Chain A
């Protein structure tokens, strides 16, 4: 058993949620989401913890976690910028936003700023095409963006 452990609140959430499914196997996604909400990422340690809770082998949790791209398998910055790159966003100006982030924060997709504040991911369609271009900042959608609006959003990140 490693160092990771749910907080008492998350342990309670886990137990309540588990009762809603016919089998504990269904807790794979909810259990990993609780881990990520608690730690910001899913560490190998946490995967072992989840495996034990669900009666799985650690490799099964690893196999699962590596399929679902939203799970961060490495620590990321405080602010996670997910920039949509798919067609409507591409047409409406996502490349300019990407360029702006590179110029102001100095990071490209997959990189974190040296102070650990920002992490940029270039992601596929987020279902906000009517408000293209868009980013999600720690899962909060910001739509109909311009470079100016993005600049403001970044500056507001403390």
Chain B
């Protein structure tokens, strides 16, 4: 597949238009066109359309969006909420900020369609605190939308449906990207993930029904509403239809964010869209979708395809689609140390295996890097990984196990070489 076939601009369609973030420009380029169509449909019809599109959550999990909306209980007198997850803290991920920067009105349009579909009147957008500039940019767009009567007591000045949108600025905690921790945070508490229910159900914000969706997921809705699900399913794979904003970072010639259809071959994306490695460097490994995905060796990258199922087949995950490219010459022990410092710092501290496990591995890797390691230390790391896996409230600890175990197992020689330095 060539670059032209791989790149499909649905969410990023307006990104290159000058001043695309301003309402005046946005309106000239199709923003809010889906609203009339949405309000000519019933909420259930929109949900069905989104179900048929196969739209999957772009925040990392890849859960189906339509079925998630259906978890909301039938409309009753209780308030209902849409909470949009823009915490974007997974290392290697910097895609949602493109939407805040270049097409904030697309997100607002998506929020209107999605809120109407799930019967919500209040939407909160949780954005990581570091994105101050992007938050300001989005708030200007929200103010424009209020002033123009697009949101507020009525939608587009004519539809009798109240929508209020509020941006909630985070405070620098990675774990608040976990949806239940995010809600805890908006409720004014530490971002500790909640225990998962026994069956599938919606989320609860102050004990009221709520849905949490990623920024890019919500931004994918207007196209599906306006142009029908076929406009989405004609791209991507059967199980992962449509597109996603893939990010590339590290020493490639053109790092950045590119909207690609699912199922592209990873090495083609790196070479043809990323421009290949720069400065004559050689590819050593790729962490495919944010730090929490098992690492792929250069050889594995040759056979990797960018969709959820293909990545699972080769023992990794697609995650957020944020590929971190690692060149030859970078020590994998340093990579593991760097990432475990991240996790050690960001563990919320609620569960013992995670709080202690991340710190323990951090200490062992420090010891190895100081030349005092032994085979026993590697065994301990893998043991600690197992202790963290499946024994905690959220998937943070299993993710740590995934990435650390994959690095230690695939690059064992590099760890052993440190023992006697």
Q: Does the CB pair A70–B339 fall under 8 Å? A: no
Task: From known contacts A21-B166, A125-B91, infer whether A139 and B171 are also in contact, taking CB-CB under 8 Å.
Answer: no
Interface residues of A in 64-112 (CB under 8 A from B): 64, 67-71, 82, 85-88, 90-92
Interface residues of B in 314-328 (CB under 8 A from A): 322, 324, 326-327
Question: In the complex, which residues of chain B have a beta carbon less than 8 angstroms from the beta carbon of A130?
Answer: 94, 247-249, 255-257
Q: Does the CB pair A127–B250 fall under 8 Å? A: no
Task: From known contacts A127-B128, A130-B248, infer whether A91 and B342 are also in contact, taking CB-CB under 8 Å.
Answer: no
Q: Does the CB pair B322–A129 fall under 8 Å? A: yes
Q: Does the CB pair A29–B171 fall under 8 Å? A: yes
Asked if A155 lies at the interface with its beta carbon under 8 angstroms from chain B, I say: no
Q: Does the CB pair A141–B174 fall under 8 Å? A: no
| A88, B327: Cα distance in complex, Å | 11
| A121, B330: Cα distance in complex, Å | 24
Q: Does the CB pair A71–B169 fall under 8 Å? A: no
A121-143 vs B, CB cutoff 8 Å, 1 = contact: the mask equals 00111111111100010011100
Q: Does the CB pair B88–A127 fall under 8 Å? A: yes
| A10, B173: Cα distance in complex, Å | 24
Question: In the complex, which residues of chain B have a beta carbon less than 8 angstroms from the beta carbon of A63?
Answer: 190
Task: From known contacts A33-B169, A87-B339, A124-B342, infer whether A28 and B188 are also in contact, taking CB-CB under 8 Å.
Answer: yes
Q: Does the CB pair B133–A32 fall under 8 Å? A: no
Closest CB in chain A relative to B76 CB, distance in Å? 16
Interface residues of B in 163-208 (CB under 8 A from A): 164, 166, 168-174, 185-191, 205-206, 208
Interface-central residue, B122, B324, B346, by most chain A CB under 10 Å:
B324
Asked if A114 lies at the interface with its beta carbon under 8 angstroms from chain B, I say: no
Q: Which of A67, A71, A85, A123 contacts B191 (CB 8 A)?
A: A67
In the complex, number of A-B residue pairs with CB atoms less than 8 Å apart: 149
B334-371 vs A, CB cutoff 8 Å, 1 = contact: the mask equals 11001101100110100000000000000000000000
Q: Does the CB pair B256–A87 fall under 8 Å? A: no
Question: In the complex, which residues of chain B have a beta carbon less than 8 angstroms from the beta carbon of A116?
Answer: none
Q: Does the CB pair A129–B324 fall under 8 Å? A: yes
Q: Does the CB pair A90–B334 fall under 8 Å? A: yes
Asked if B141 lies at the interface with its beta carbon under 8 angstroms from chain A, I say: no
Smallest Cβ-Cβ distance to A136: which chain B residue:
B130
Asked if B244 lies at the interface with its beta carbon under 8 angstroms from chain A, I say: no
Asked if A46 lies at the interface with its beta carbon under 8 angstroms from chain B, I say: no
List 16 other contacts, CB 8 Å, given A64-B188, A64-B189, A129-B250: A22-B122, A22-B205, A23-B188, A25-B187, A28-B188, A67-B190, A68-B173, A70-B170, A86-B291, A92-B251, A123-B130, A123-B172, A127-B89, A127-B131, A129-B324, A132-B249
6 closest Cβ pairs, A-B complex: A68-B171, A129-B249, A70-B172, A28-B188, A25-B188, A139-B132
| Sample (5) of A-B pairs whose CB atoms are under 8 Å apart | A87-B324, A125-B90, A130-B94, A132-B250, A132-B255
Q: Chain A residues in contact with chain B, CB under 8 A?
A: 17, 20-23, 25-30, 32-33, 54, 63-64, 67-71, 82, 85-88, 90-92, 123-132, 136, 139-141
